[in-house]
Amino acid sequence: MQTVSENKCFGGIQGVYRHASETCACDMTFGLFLPQEAAYGPVPVLWYLSGLTCTHENAMVKAGAQAWAAEAGIALVFPDTSPRGDGVANDEAYDLGQGAGFYVNATEQPWADHYRMWDYIAEELPAIVTANFAVAEDRQAISGHSMGGHGALTLAMRLPGRFRSVSAFAPIANPTRSDWGRKQFAAYLGADESRWAQHDATLLMQRRGFDGPVLIDQGSKDQFLDLLRPEALAHALMERRQNGQFRMQPGYDHSYFFVSTFMRDHIAFHTEALFQD
């Protein structure tokens, strides 16, 4: 593993690291914030998954999460959103290919050789992080924005016991019924729609729910509301009587101005779950 950079940040260290990924068959980059408490032993960790067109860097520099994580004494992991490189398949559209991995394992060509983001986030990267840094394996939570909110919710519900809490900012909530989902699932997973359901947060909430608390924030002026379909997930939460909150935030859009405004709330929400005995 290569250290790309390490900077002092709110008493801790904000690092960026690159490693050869066996899962994605290319080099992958991730960001990791460690609070000063990590110098004395493993600390709880919050995973943050980013959205379409993003890299590991977007949330790392725009979300303002490190200040609140340092205060709470928790680590933050910022993975990339897809495999990358000259030999990695891509598309001219912003919502397919590099920067748009959708946190699935592709089964169709030309994507299948590299686009295995589910396994990367669920298995390979956690093993690398816990083996090399002072991060607790048994105190983990997950969050994300847009495509990353979709990833956070689906990972949390399909990996019971892994994460103590899950949150999302403007998640792609019902991708099997949206152009942000149907296009990508058809390309990555093929035409059999029965294989798509395991990557739809609304359907997963209806069928299995989450074994912990959920927090979702959605801006009322989000320019992508019709693609996100938040009403479907809100209905599923209520129908299941899930332990959670769905908050429609008046006037906010889809940007990191929205995310950074409510990041403190999300860090506090996860901190409570992460430090519960």
Active site residues: 146, 222, 254
Residue 59 contacts residue 32 (beta carbons within 8 Å) = no
Q: Which two tokens stand for residue 240?
A: 């299941």
Concatenating the DSSP letter of every residue in 38-73 gives GGSS-EEEEEEE--TT--THHHHHHS-HHHHHHHHT
Angle among Cα 121, 123, 126 to the nearest 5 degrees reads 75
End-to-end CA distance of the chain: 33
User: 123: which DSSP letter?
Assistant: I
- The H or E element spanning position 148 is helix 147-158
d(CA 261, CA 241): 27
